[in-house]
Amino acid sequence: MFNNIINSLPAELTNETFDTLLTANNIKIERIVSKGHTSPASGWHDQEDNEWVLVLEGAGTILFEDGREVTMRKGDYLHITAHVKHKVSWTDPDRQTIWLAVHYPVPT
Amino acid sequence: MFNNIINSLPAELTNETFDTLLTANNIKIERIVSKGHTSPASGWHDQEDNEWVLVLEGAGTILFEDGREVTMRKGDYLHITAHVKHKVSWTDPDRQTIWLAVHYPVPT
């Protein structure tokens, strides 16, 4: 497993890549690399866990079911509460976008 | 509170800065900005929680009590298990080093 999040980018990106950097105590830290990829046209992500997401390189747009759209660039971070429906409506087609996502459970 | 981790750097850095980006469910995500700062010469950090740390910009060195020393550069990440004693023995004096730290509890 790589231990550098930027130097170890996939050579080709037919599909988005998802790499788990840490799983422990119901937390998952994940690197996602996109290049022009978006969520499927129909349907929404509806997640059991909360998510804190940061763009490390590139840019992408998150569309929420309520119509809100947030374009995130390098350094931008966003909190996506569990079950708030969303999708990735755009990512930069010309370069890799690196996302760092921290998934953590809803307090019980 | 800023929502970009890179564009909102402190103008001066007499002391290291610590900004909490998220606290929820016993997790804390924190940005630390250093510029030549190190831990106090004597003593060690001895943390109750596990820590996952990533360097976003700059460089810094973590020294462990067992003598292991890890210099981290942009994109490098490291896991520091709770109660593993460590300190920051060096950070780049010429530019700001941005750390992203995810603190999370030890599973019970």
The structure's pTM equals 0.92
Q: Is A5 on the interface with B (CB under 8 A)?
A: yes
Are the Cβ atoms of A27 and B29 closer than 8 angstroms? no
- Measure in Å the smallest separation between the Cα of B14 and chain A Cα atoms: 23
ipTM: 0.90
Asked if residue A2 has pLDDT above 70, the reply is no
Tens-level pLDDT at each residue, chain B (108 residues): 469 998 888 887 788 899 999 998 889 999 999 999 998 888 999 999 999 999 999 999 999 999 999 999 999 999 999 999 999 999 999 999 999 999 999 977
Q: Is A1 on the interface with B (CB under 8 A)?
A: no
B6 phi-psi bin (left φ>0, alpha ψ -120 to 50, beta other): alpha
* Model confidence pLDDT, tens digit, residues A9-38: 888 778 889 999 999 888 999 999 999 999
